[in-house]
């Protein structure tokens, strides 16, 4: 991918996932700056030879690409302090949840090239999934760089309607926690059955990895078909799935994802 100087405003979990993921791909540490007021977070990046700073304005002025990686609650405050910077020739990538491009444009009037991204934490192990949106006025080379940046740490998916970013949040941004919860629940059940913690962990994580790889390696096979292929009529798998169906797992998942979407919309109105 093309290499540009990148400044991350905010050094939280998602910024760490992307930065450390980039470093694993060989992206030069000296082209990355992370600004965060927290000394411990800055130390995490400094240990990996990434430049760190507390002066957001200076760091932004010296960078070609700006990644806004702060919590939505402080978006207005952080961006207001950057409004004096000329962003007209810079690429702004926002990974702030629920903050619309309209809002960012109002906060940073000179910003012309904004790409909104909803990544997820598996970027840390180069298995991220990021949804992207940009308005039609964004230069193609900036869109390509944003895509390449996120593809360096996983897969990407563009959406044409910014409202779809709420669904992307439910589908990928928040979903690693869904899978972790399911795996955690399986592990706890196995512990109650008498297996050791290491046995339970190995059985669960490898089964999850194998199932995911089967999905990836069989792109033309429906998920329902893959499920059916494991399920013999009247067998052990069917017994387990019957419980999930009786407890309405599909409806629970739908309700949970819809709750994620509604919270995302609420946050957009709030911040």
Average pLDDT over residues 119-141: 95
Can you tell me the distance from the alpha carbon of 180 to that of 176, in angstroms, rounded to the nearest whole number? 6
| Structure tokens belonging to residue 192 | 């109650």
238-261 pLDDT, tens digit each = 999 999 999 999 999 999 999 999
Exposed, middle or buried by CB within 10 Å (0-12, 13-18, 19+), for 132? buried
79-94 pLDDT, tens digit each = 999 999 999 999 999 9
135 close to 114: Cβ distance less than 8 angstroms? yes
97-110 pLDDT, tens digit each = 999 999 999 999 99
Residues of each domain in the chain carrying CATH 3.40.50.720: 6-162
Residues of each domain in the chain carrying CATH 1.10.3730.10: 175-270
152 close to 1: Cβ distance less than 8 angstroms? yes
Q: How do the residues of the chain divide into helix, strand and coil, expressed in percent and rounded to 5?
A: 55, 15, 30
Can you tell me the distance from the alpha carbon of 255 to that of 247, in angstroms, rounded to the nearest whole number? 13
Q: How far is CA 20 from CA 33, 118, 165, in A?
A: 12, 17, 24
Can you tell me the distance from the alpha carbon of 103 to that of 114, in angstroms, rounded to the nearest whole number? 11
Predicted TM-score (pTM) of this structure: 0.93
Neighbours of 255 (CB within 10 A): 11
- At 1, is the pLDDT very low, low, confident or very high (cuts 50, 70, 90)? confident
CATH 3.40.50.300 for the 6-162 domain, yes or no: no
Mean pLDDT for the chain? 97
Average pLDDT over residues 17-37: 95
Indicate the CATH number of 175-270 among 2.40.30.160, 1.10.3720.10, 3.40.630.30, 1.10.3730.10. 1.10.3730.10
């Amino acid at each position: 991918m093309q290499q540009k100087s990148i400044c991350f405003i905010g050094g939280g979990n998602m910024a760490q996932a992307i930065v450390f993921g980039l470093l694993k791909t060989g992206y030069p540490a000296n082209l990355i700056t992370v600004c965060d007021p927290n000394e411990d977070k800055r130390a995490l990046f400094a240990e990996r030879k990434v430049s760190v700073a507390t002066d957001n304005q200076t760091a932004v002025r010296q960078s070609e690409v700006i990644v806004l990686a702060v919590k939505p609650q402080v978006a207005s405050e952080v961006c207001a302090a950057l409004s004096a910077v000329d962003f007209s020739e810079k690429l702004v990538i926002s990974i702030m949840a629920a903050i619309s491009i309209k809002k960012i444009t109002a906060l940073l009037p000179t910003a012309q090239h904004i790409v909104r991204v909803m990544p997820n934490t598996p970027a840390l192990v180069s298995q991220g999934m990021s949804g992207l949106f940009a308005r039609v006025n964004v230069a193609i080379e900036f869109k390509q760089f944003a895509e390449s940046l996120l593809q360096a740490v996983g897969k990407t998916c563009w959406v044409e309607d910014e409202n779809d970013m709420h669904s992307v949040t439910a589908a990928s941004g928040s979903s690693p926690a869904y899978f972790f919860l399911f795996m955690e629940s399986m592990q706890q059940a196995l512990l109650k059955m008498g297996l050791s913690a290491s046995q339970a962990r190995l059985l669960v994580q490898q089964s999850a990895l194998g199932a995911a790889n089967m999905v990836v390696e069989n792109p033309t096979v429906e998920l329902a078909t893959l499920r059916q292929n494991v399920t013999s009529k009247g067998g052990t798998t069917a017994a387990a799935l019957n419980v999930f169906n009786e407890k309405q797992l599909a409806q629970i998942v739908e309700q949970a994802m819809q709750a994620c979407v509604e919270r995302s919309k609420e946050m957009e109105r709030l911040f």
